Structure 1
Amino acid sequence: MKLDGRVAVITGAGSGIGRGIALACSRRGCGVAIADVSEDGLRETAGMIRGVKVTTHKLDVTDRAATAALPQSVLAEHGRVDLLVNNAGVAIGGTFEQVDEADFDWLMEVNFHAVVRLTRAFLPLLRTRDQARIVNVSSLFGLIAPPGQTAYSAAKFAVRGFSESLRRELEEAASAVGVTVVHPGGINTNIARNARPPRHVSNEEAAQMAEERDRFQKFLRMSPIKAGEIIVSAVEGEKPRVLVGNDAKIGSLIERLAPIGYWNILKRSMS
């Protein structure tokens, strides 16, 4: 897929992987409509882009009316949409029993239901193009499910399943719209640092979670700029799935070899 002259819509582009994807697209001559809940982040990302048209769209992906209105807003500015990247995401720390229903639902709204709604909103525009693509960012935790990640893994496994089924539906319909699902490993973004703590835990539990978060942060080594380049290269190659980082590749391999016992193997490796 040649990106020169095309237009990409990227959510969660105010920082992290979304910013990396926006920069990688712009380097290929692809115009970008970047969306994020952070206006400051959007301005910063837009200021880094050169040589192509860039528009910024403040967006809370849990706002159904705003997500439904985004396609026409982008179309008015750019005249076309060729690539949709559903990247926006959040995290919550804590076990299933520690995370209350409201927080669990909030994470599912951002990390999964928004992916479905934005795909539904943009698919009619994408279908009008000679070649188009939907890129849904899952996670290493959409391949493996460690303890303390019930909400996050549930959402990221759901993104994976939705993407794979949608891809096959579009293939059987001989559509020009392809689907890529992305599984990043340890990318040095703010998502772990900004993970929402459970609201009803003791001070001792909160301190333990902060310590665990700091320990986990050490595994986040790849720059989001490099991750964005890997993802956009995969889009150019029309790859249906991309594993970003050696940790994602190793995790995927071990899960296939030991689908029940993989966590014990990985835990020993990490320690």
Structure 2
Amino acid sequence: MKLEDRMALITGTGGGIGRGIALALAHRGCHLALVDINEDALAQTAAQCRNLGIRVTTHLLDVADREAIRQLPAQVHAAHGYLDVLINNAGVALGGTFEQVSEADFDWLMEINFHAVVRLTRACLPLLHQSDDARIVNMSSLYGLISPPGQTAYSASKFAVRGFSNALRHELEGTRIGVSVVHPGGVATSIAKSARAPGGVTEKEIEEERTRHEKLLRMPPEKAGEIIVRGLEQRRPRILVGADAKAVSVLERLFPVRYWSILQRAIRR
């Protein structure tokens, strides 16, 4: 897929993987509509992308806001005139076992990680159908391949994104819209630090869990963004980001039930 002079809408671009994707696209001459809930972070990403000579608009909104999502495609069309690529990247994390996580927190995470993906995809499909070559890229996770304990809500949301993306790809066969689902491994973003913690868990336990997860986040987000955009260019239906994601993908296919006990032994070693 040739990305020069294409137009991409990306959510969650205030930092991390979203900013990495935006910069990788900007380097290829792709114009951008950037979305985030953090105004200052969004402005920083936009400034970096504009320095590369492309057209950039910023859209400050919460992806859990249904009305804002409904209005967004019209705003993007008014500013740019067309849309070729939709990248549903925005996401949040929530630690804790199923019994620790409240119903309200579980629903909060699903609204952002899954329902926002579905709603924005539905809202943007009419514009994407007008493109001669379009693609939807949805962000799942390593935890959309495996399901570790303590990640019930997060893993559920990322498996939902994976299933939605795969089925949508099959439904859109024969059209000019392709669908990619992304499974990043340990990318050095702030997601662990900003994860919401369940009630009833001590500050010490929260900090220990965050520290443990942060040690696994090693890949620079700029590198992750470049890998994702290369996968977009190659029209890959599944994009695995990092050696850890690739290894886990193989392990889960070989041992779909026993993979967690094998991973635990490896972690202890």
TM-score range, shorter chain: over 0.9
TM-score, normalised to structure 1's length? 0.97
With the length of structure 2 as denominator, give the TM-score of the two structures. Answer: 0.97
Count of residue pairs the alignment pairs up:
266
Deviation, 1:268, is 1.9
* SS of the residue 1:92 aligns to: coil
Partner SS, residue 48 of structure 1: helix
Structure 2 unaligned regions, length at least 5? none
Q: CA deviation at 1:239?
A: 0.5
Rounded to whole Å, the distance in 2 between the matches of 1:124 and 1:100 is: 37
Q: What is the match of residue 153 of structure 2?
A: 151
Of the three residues 235, 243, 247, the one matched with 2:244 is 247
5+ residue gaps, structure 1: none
Q: Is the aligned partner of 1:118 residue 2:120?
A: yes
Distance 1:132 1:70 in 2: 18
Runs of 4+ in structure 1 deviating by more than 6 angstroms, as ranges, are none
Cα shift readout 1:112-132 (whole Å, capped 9, x = no counterpart): 000000000001100001000
Question: What amino acid is aligned across from residue 13 of structure 2 in structure 1?
Answer: A
Contact 1:94/1:209 (<8 A) preserved: no
Aligned match of 1:180: 180
Q: Which of 164, 187, 202 is 2:166 aligned to?
A: 164
The equivalent of 1:87 in structure 2 is 89
CA contact (8 A) 1:136 1:163 kept: yes
SS in 2 for 1:84: strand
Whether 1:256 and 2:253 are equivalent positions in the alignment is: yes
Q: CA deviation at 1:270?
A: 2.2
Residue of structure 2 aligned with 1:73, choices 59, 72, 75: 75
For the aligned residues, what is the CA RMSD?
Answer: 0.8
Aligned partner of 1:105 among 104, 107, 131: 107
SS of equivalent residue, structure 1 residue 188: coil
| Residues 1:267 and 2:264 aligned together | yes
Which whole-Å CA distance do the structure 2 matches of 1:218 and 1:202 have between them? 21
Distance 1:270 1:128 in 2: 48
Distance, in Å, in 1 between the alignment partners of 2:39 and 2:246 is 34
Asked whether the equivalents of residues 12 and 88 of structure 1 are also in contact (C-alpha less than 8 Å), the reply is yes
Partner Cα distance (2:179, 2:155) in 1: 20
Match for 2:35: what amino acid?
A: A
8 A contact 1:180–1:238 mirrored in 2: yes
Retained in 2: the 8 A contact 1:139–1:185?
A: yes
Secondary structure, in 3 states, of the residue corresponding to 1:215?
Answer: helix
Residue in 2 that maps onto 1:24? 24
Aligned partner letter, 2:200 = V
